[in-house]
Structure 1
Amino acid sequence: MRPLISPIVLFISSTWWALGSPYMIMEKQPRIFFSAIGATFSNIACRLVVAQMTTTRSDGFNKLLYILVPIQIMSVYGALTERMEFSLLFLYNIFVILAHLHYAICVVRQICDHLNIFAFKIKDSSTQSSSTEAHIKHS
């Protein structure tokens, strides 16, 4: 049940925000809204996959939700102006995308270190095939 906490909180709070926003955030900024919620869910899902692959315990509550949920609460209860709500959504979207990219880069680096390989480096197959052919001709 532990891995379900973050997605449930994300979906319930985001639906609540979409329906309860006094400035109709879903109608006025749907792309940024879906981008922010999607990137947050992607981060939650990727962390769960990595935890399963490494047989470690998954986080109970994703740290990105500590930022998102207060924004949603302030928005629904009218503590923000329309401009502030849209600005916070935009800033959160940028932040969550950068945080997700940072997490992905760190995971790739750790896997490469563990496997003692370089990411995105392809061995030249032409030198390998020519040396294999030369070895076969000498045999």
Structure 2
Amino acid sequence: MNTPRRPSLLGDAEIEQTVREFAARVLFLRAAWHAGKPGAENPLEAIERDARALSNALKLTPYGSAYWSVLLPDETKHTGDPGAGLGLWVAGQVIAMMQAIEGGESEATIKSKLETMLADVVARLTGRKY
């Protein structure tokens, strides 16, 4: 669906896949680091690098760049890039949810929250939600 104020040049399915793969990578990086797996990178550096790659992959339109800059001003200021700022925000949400599970919250409840957050990000990137 091509809306006049579409935040990304990617198709809906590509956006969905890109966002979900990024979130999965954050989970993997943190788990590998905490498990002490050989070759595991510092997750903070790796996540920031991956957030910049996410920004390139999302192909934000000028509208999308402005949109995410307004929604996530601190993250955008930190990275200088609204797409990377979005990646850092998503990573922060994913990590907070992992910590909630580690703190004893129900995995089913957190999975539902994670799904809701990812669906919201995808809806905003596709222009279905403003």
Q: So what's the TM-score if we normalise by structure 1? A: 0.33
Taking structure 2 as the reference length, what is the TM-score of the superposition? 0.35
Structure with bigger gyration radius: 1
